[in-house]
Each structure stands twice: as structure tokens, then as C-alpha cells.
């Protein structure tokens, strides 16, 4: 059984992302030099592009996750089907 | 005469996936059992009376017809794999997949088994002549063949055929994960990846209103294409 918990490193990373995003949200002009470094005119543009990239990545991850869930469900349904192969005796016993 | 003798017939398991096929299921599986083959009917979460009719057929041929049922619909690929896993468990030497909608001829079963029995192939695909198909179907199937060639590097006459035959070894090594109609192309991919010997024999296809509504059309084709592209990114 695989229990996946968030690692301390990931936790710290998300906290940092939260702090940085909130900081730039309240003080957008501080993001301008950073945006200039990446070739964007405004900090907001950089933020939008980063946000878009993050969303695309999130959708991709979700797709993979849903696919994995689908596969697991199929495996489960298959196992159930094979274990419960239909036997005439069982049906007749139920009917009695 | 290309008939496979009865000694071999008993080693052949037919896997018939069925989703809402109450009109044809009994006729198909009883027709197969009548010829001496064993049949595994995989009811894929049908909402109609497919399962009930299959059980009735099993009463007529209790030692030849086996019925398993997916509690929810999981798609053609999933149903085929369930049937193949069960056939291997039951000691099948040869496994033939056969559509439940009545589009295949029972007399084609020995034809697709012959190259396996003769040791000429590990997998046989029964190729439907595209000239016999309605235009929309043949066009979609041509495209699917082209895509199968581009993505999986294998040029086959009919990549989407539902009539296929496998040796037990081939069925065991082939790993199918597609759930829907993409399974047909995935079989080709697996045949290539696992270096299995493939043979193709021409089969007859019966076109009825039921069979016309199923299978590969443009929309299904697009879905399969999307799946193929996504699979490229999968490790």
C-alpha cells in the first residue's frame, strides 16, 4: 500500500511559492525588474504566463492521475469478474 | 480443407466481449459452442439483457460457454483483457477474440487459427476487405492503418479488426492498457514491441445495421489518435 504524504521539502516549497505570489500581488512593482530579466514589460505579464504554464502542467498531472485511477478501477472490476465467474449452480441455489 | 481438427478445436478459447448485445449474443456464442470451441463471454456492464441471455446459452452448453461480468462498463479493451486472462487461467493454447455484434463469420475461426497451429505466427489478424465496407468506415480504417504505421511502425492491412488469434504465449506477454477501441492499435504496438510474429488472413465481414453503428468511425478515430499522442509522453 502506497501512502503518499507531502515531504518536508515540498511543504517548504509551497510555503515559499505562497509567500512570493502574495508578496508580488500586494507589491506588483517589485516584480518589474524580474519581469524585465525574462523579457516581459510588466510583472503582471510574467505572472500571467507563469500562471498559464502552471495550469497546463496541473491539467497534465490531473490527466495522468485520472488515467491511473481508471486503470486501477478496471483492474478491480476484472478481478471481481474473474473471481465471480458465473456458475449455474449458484444461480439455481439463489432461485430456490 | 483448412479446417483445424477437433483435437485443436478443444484448445481454442473464443473471447467475446459484449456491451448491450442482447440481439446477437445468444446466436453468436451458441453458434461458436456448436462447433466445439470454448467461449468466454465477457459482459461489459451491459444495461440490457445480454447477461441473462448469455446465462441461458450457458445452460445449453455448460462445459463450453463461460460467462464473466464486469459490474460496470470498462470498454472493449478492458473486456478483451479480462477474457484473455481467464482463458489463460483455463489453460487455453490458442485464444481468438470475436465481436459479439455478429459481424464475423464463425467459419473464419479455423482460418485465423491455422497459422498459429502451423507455427507460422504468434498472432493472426483477420483482415476485413475494405472494398466491402461502407465508405465512411473504410475511410476511417484507412486513416487508422496510416496512424498505426506512423506511431507503431507496422504496416497492417486492417489495424482495427476485432477477429484476432493469439498463441497462449503471445496472449501472456501482450500487455493491454487501453480501455476503449484504441485497443486494436495497441495490440499492433505490443506485437511490434514484443517481437511477435504476425500473420494476416482475409476474413468475411457481415454488415448489418448493428455492426454499422459500432466500430471505428471518424470520432472514434480522433479519440484513438489523441490516445496515441498522449501515450507517446508516457514513460
Q: Mind listing the pLDDT tens digit for each residue in A70-91? A: 999 999 999 999 999 999 888 8
ipTM of the complex: 0.80
* Count: domains in chain A: 1
User: Given this model, what pLDDT does residue B2 score?
Assistant: 42
User: Given this model, what pLDDT does residue B7 score?
Assistant: 63
User: Given this model, what pLDDT does residue B217 score?
Assistant: 64
Q: Flag whether A2 is in a domain.
A: no
In contact, B174 and B190? CB cutoff 8 Å:
yes
CA angle B95, B101, B107 (to 5 degrees): 55
Question: CB distance from B18 to chain A under 8 Å?
Answer: no
Could you say which residues from 47 to 66 on chain A have a Cβ atom under 8 Å away from some Cβ of chain B?
A: 63
**Cross-chain residue pair B69–A88, CB shorter than 8 Å:** no
Could you say which residues from 81 to 120 on chain B have a Cβ atom under 8 Å away from some Cβ of chain A?
A: 81-82, 85-86, 89
Q: Flag whether A90 is in a domain.
A: yes
Q: Mind listing the pLDDT tens digit for each residue in A4-53? A: 677 888 889 889 988 988 888 788 778 788 788 888 877 778 888 888 99
What is each CA distance from B138 to A35, B97, B161, B206, B219, in whole angstroms?
54, 21, 12, 14, 14
Q: Is the pLDDT of residue A54 over 70?
A: yes
Pick B53 or A94 by higher pLDDT: B53
Question: CB distance from B62 to chain A under 8 Å?
Answer: yes
Average pLDDT of every residue of chain A: 86
Q: Flag whether A83 is in a domain.
A: yes
User: Given this model, what pLDDT does residue B1 score?
Assistant: 40
Q: Flag whether A41 is in a domain.
A: yes
- Domain containing residue A36: 8-95
Question: CB distance from B189 to chain A under 8 Å?
Answer: no
Q: Flag whether A15 is in a domain.
A: yes
Q: Flag whether A3 is in a domain.
A: no
CB-CB neighbors (< 8 A) of A70 in chain B? 179
Q: Flag whether A1 is in a domain.
A: no
User: Given this model, what pLDDT does residue A89 score?
Assistant: 83
User: Given this model, what pLDDT does residue B209 score?
Assistant: 62
The grid coordinates of residue B217 equal 468511425
Q: What is the DSSP letter of B205?
A: B
**Cross-chain residue pair A86–B67, CB shorter than 8 Å:** yes
Name the residue among A77, A78, A91 with its Cβ closest to that of B55: A91
CB-CB neighbors (< 8 A) of B74 in chain A? 73-74, 77-78
pLDDT tens track, chain B, 235 positions: 444 566 678 889 999 999 999 999 999 999 999 999 999 999 999 999 999 999 999 999 999 999 999 999 999 999 999 999 999 999 999 999 999 888 888 989 999 999 999 999 999 999 888 777 777 777 878 888 888 888 888 888 888 888 999 999 999 999 988 777 778 888 988 998 999 999 999 888 777 665 666 656 667 777 777 777 766 665 4
Name the residue among A80, A85, A91 with its Cβ closest to that of B71: A80
**Cross-chain residue pair B85–A82, CB shorter than 8 Å:** yes
User: Given this model, what pLDDT does residue B235 score?
Assistant: 45
* Dist CA B42 CA A81 (whole Å): 9
Query: pTM, whole model, 2 decimals?
Result: 0.79
Distance from CA of B140 to the nearest CA of A (A): 26
Distance from CA of B67 to the nearest CA of A (A): 6
What backbone phi and psi angles, to 5 degrees, belong to A56?
-60, -45
Amino acid at each position: 500500500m502506497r501512502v503518499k504524504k507531502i515531504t518536508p521539502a515540498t511543504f517548504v516549497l509551497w510555503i515559499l511559492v505562497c509567500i512570493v505570489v502574495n508578496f508580488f500581488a500586494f507589491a506588483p512593482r517589485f516584480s518589474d525588474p524580474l519581469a524585465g530579466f525574462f523579457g516581459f514589460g510588466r510583472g503582471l505579464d510574467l505572472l500571467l504566463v507563469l500562471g498559464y504554464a502552471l495550469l497546463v502542467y496541473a491539467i497534465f498531472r490531473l490527466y495522468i492521475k485520472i488515467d491511473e485511477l481508471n486503470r486501477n478501477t478496471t483492474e478491480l472490476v476484472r478481478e471481481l469478474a474473474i473471481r465471480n465467474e458465473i456458475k449455474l449452480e449458484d444461480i439455481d441455489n439463489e432461485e430456490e | 480443407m483448412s479446417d483445424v481438427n477437433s483435437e485443436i478445436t478443444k484448445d481454442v478459447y473464443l473471447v467475446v466481449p459484449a456491451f448491450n448485445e442482447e440481439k446477437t449474443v445468444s446466436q453468436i456464442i451458441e453458434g461458436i459452442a456448436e462447433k466445439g470451441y470454448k467461449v468466454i463471454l465477457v459482459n461489459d456492464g451491459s444495461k440490457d439483457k445480454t447477461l441473462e441471455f448469455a446465462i441461458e446459452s450457458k445452460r445449453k452448453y455448460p462445459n463450453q460457454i463461460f460467462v464473466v461480468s464486469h459490474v460496470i462498463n470498462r470498454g472493449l479493451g478492458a473486456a478483451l483483457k479480462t477474457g484473455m486472462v481467464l482463458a489463460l487461467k483455463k489453460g487455453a493454447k490458442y485464444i481468438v477474440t470475436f465481436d459479439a455484434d455478429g459481424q464475423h463469420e464463425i467459419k473464419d475461426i479455423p482460418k485465423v487459427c491455422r497459422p498459429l497451429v502451423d507455427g507460422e505466427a504468434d498472432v493472426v489478424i483477420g483482415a476485413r476487405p475494405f472494398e466491402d465496407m461502407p465508405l465512411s468506415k473504410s475511410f476511417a480504417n484507412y486513416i487508422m492503418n496510416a496512424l498505426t504505421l506512423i506511431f507503431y511502425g507496422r504496416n497492417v492491412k486492417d489495424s482495427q479488426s476485432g477477429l484476432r488469434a493469439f498463441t497462449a504465449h503471445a496472449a501472456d506477454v501482450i500487455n493491454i492498457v487501453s480501455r476503449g477501441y484504441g485497443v486494436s492499435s495497441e495490440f499492433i504496438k505490443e506485437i511490434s514491441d514484443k517481437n511477435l510474429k504476425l500473420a494476416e488472413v482475409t476474413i468475411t465481414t457481415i454488415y448489418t445495421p448493428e455492426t454499422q453503428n459500432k466500430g471505428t468511425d471518424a470520432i472514434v478515430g480522433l479519440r484513438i489518435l489523441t490516445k496515441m499522442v498522449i501515450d507517446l509522453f508516457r514513460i
